[in-house]
Structure 1
Amino acid sequence: MPNQREGRSYIIQSVEKACRLLQALAADDVEELGLTELAVRLGFNKNQVFRLVKTLEVWGLVEQNPQTERYRLGTALLYLAGHVQRGMGLVRAATPVLDRLALETGETIHLVALHGLEAVLVDARESPQPVRLTARLGGRYPLHAGACPLAILAALPADWQARVLEQAPQLPRYTDRTVVDPAELRRLLAQVRADGFAISDNDVDPGARAVGAAILDSSGWPVGAVSVAGPAARLSLEHLRRLGEVVRVAAAEIGARLGMTARQGAGLAPRQPRLARGQKA
């Protein structure tokens, strides 16, 4: 509900009317409403209601039932609500797990969140060792390279993966180990799904390695990922694979804690399909 203490001089009336329409469709006694019913409930004329619903329909916030020609809330609201829930809950849910991983491994720990088709670094624990990996909080990374981004990409549904794969030849090549060939990237993602974790071997920064696993919410949607990262001279591939199981378990724990946080609050989780085991990208 709007804050009644705030002055109304900055209110945009058309936006306020759209918000009132969304609230009308969210009423407990409503599943769908027609234009006339909306006009009566809101006290707007029918032409105003028509223009509002058509605008909101373009953005997926309202949708029309083709059988009844009545209107209901759109699925884009699930994505928005889920984004709010993830942004508030992911770091909080991950905090004790990140702290434990940092102590257990002595290496840098990264936590990223999925935002659109990018991975955003939202939290980290730096290694206490003199030679260590560092990264900037808030940094954004494409999904085709790096342990956390690759883990997320492998857990996304096939249609989302396709949006990245079709851009592959134009994606940045950070080193000569960065995979930008679509067929090779598909093979790499299949390996990540089989292992349950992704290994980054000098594909983003020369001399750096990492292992990461996707964090899934209660619907199986990859909301982010967690990784252990360090210098290649200290992290052999054999050691990384051993750490892979540790990171995979940590990611599952964060996902479970995130689910507990969501149940304690009022946020909606996004209803996105989980990529089935063995399904090809």
Structure 2
Amino acid sequence: MTSPPDTSTVARVAAVLQTLAAAEGELPVSAIAQQVGRERSQISRMLKALAATGLVEQNPDTRGYRLGWQLHALAAKAGDQRLVRTAQPILRALVAETHETALLSVPQANRSFTILRERSTHSLQAGGWVGRTSPLHVTASGRALLLDSTSEEIRELITGDLGASGYGPNALTSLPTVLARIAQERERGCTVADEELEAGLVSVGAPVRDAAGHIVASLNISGPTSRMLRCIDSYSTAVKAAARRLTTAQARTHRP
């Protein structure tokens, strides 16, 4: 019988790959080891093993590591690709209408995981949100994923993040506050996070549903407070309409 995988090793491999995914370019072994919190020699051996499979690549000149093309090929087959393909033109249309960056996210454990981004020409951000996870209670994308959840389900999902440091000045810090906000947003059909995740950032989100009516993703736009708050009502209308279009398109693509 094959032995079960060492979950600690799996977790370390996942941490290394996630660290490289979040980087803007190559990373030296020392930087990866520091971010993962492991010995340099241990991470070096792991990277060599991953490089042998093509999941990471090493630049022969700089000796830095980056994600490999083999991982890109695997990622192309991950998740619901019909959702991504269907969402792309809808996100582009939303960017054209609002001139703000549009994102598509899905639930991943107790996080909102961004799988697609259409960037606005107004965006000055060099990096991207794709592949990043965010707390559910302080993001428009996250709370949109929670709109159908019960109070107990919400408590279980967000308790570990409530009161954590490093969020924006308007971050929600208690369960009653989060539940009250979600109740209000459930009535409106959209979510607004005003400097909750980080200072100067506002986001508007809405849920995307499958053919059975279950929330499977969230669509949102985000931008600087100075622009977003001036047009929050029109942006909310646009995001809800885009989410409805994606919901309808999803239902069509999943018909037998």
Q: TM-score, normalised by structure 2?
A: 0.65
The equivalent of 1:141 in structure 2 is 134
Residue 253 of structure 2 corresponds to residue 256 of structure 1 = no
Aligned AA (2:145): I
Deviations 1:188-241 (A, max 9, x none): 1011101110001011121111111011112222111111111111112x5112
Aligned AA (2:249): R
Q: Residue 162 of structure 2: SS of its match in structure 1?
A: helix
Q: How many residues align?
A: 184
Kindly name which structure, 1 or 2, has the bigger radius of gyration based on alpha carbons.
1
Output the aligned Cα RMSD: 2.5
Q: Residue 154 of structure 1: SS of its match in structure 2?
A: coil
Q: Residue 128 of structure 1: SS of its match in structure 2?
A: coil
Structure 2: state its 5+ residue gaps: 5-76
Residue 151 of structure 2 corresponds to residue 182 of structure 1 = no
Structure with larger RCO (C-alpha < 8 A, sep 6+): 1
Q: Residue 146 of structure 2: SS of its match in structure 1?
A: helix
Where do residues 51-130 of structure 1 align in structure 2 (5 Å cutoff)? 87-129=80-122
Aligned AA (1:260): R
Change beyond 3 A, Cα 1:93–1:158: farther
Give the one of 189, 193, 197 matched to 2:190.
197
Inter-partner Cα distance in structure 1 for 2:187 and 2:181? 10
Change beyond 3 A, Cα 1:218–1:172: farther
Residue 156 of structure 2 corresponds to residue 163 of structure 1 = yes
Aligned AA (1:245): T
Residues 114 and 222 in structure 1, CA contact (< 8 A), matched pair in contact too: no
Inter-partner Cα distance in structure 2 for 1:121 and 1:167? 20
Deviations 1:90-142 (A, max 9, x none): 11121111111011111111111112222111011111026469533110112
Where do residues 228-247 of structure 1 align in structure 2 (5 Å cutoff)? 228-236=221-229, 238-247=230-239
**Further displaced range: 124-133 or 164-173:** 164-173
Aligned AA (1:181): S
Deviations 1:33-65 (A, max 9, x none): xxxxxxxxxxxxxxxxxxxxxxxxxxxxxxxxx
Inter-partner Cα distance in structure 1 for 2:123 and 2:102? 15
What's the % identity of the aligned pairs? 23
Inter-partner Cα distance in structure 2 for 1:130 and 1:167? 32
1:166 to partner: Cα distance = 3.8
Q: Residue 211 of structure 1: SS of its match in structure 2?
A: strand
Structure 1: state its 5+ residue gaps: 1-11, 16-83, 265-281
1:87 to partner: Cα distance = 2.0
Inter-partner Cα distance in structure 2 for 1:159 and 1:218? 25
Inter-partner Cα distance in structure 2 for 1:197 and 1:154? 9
Aligned AA (1:98): L
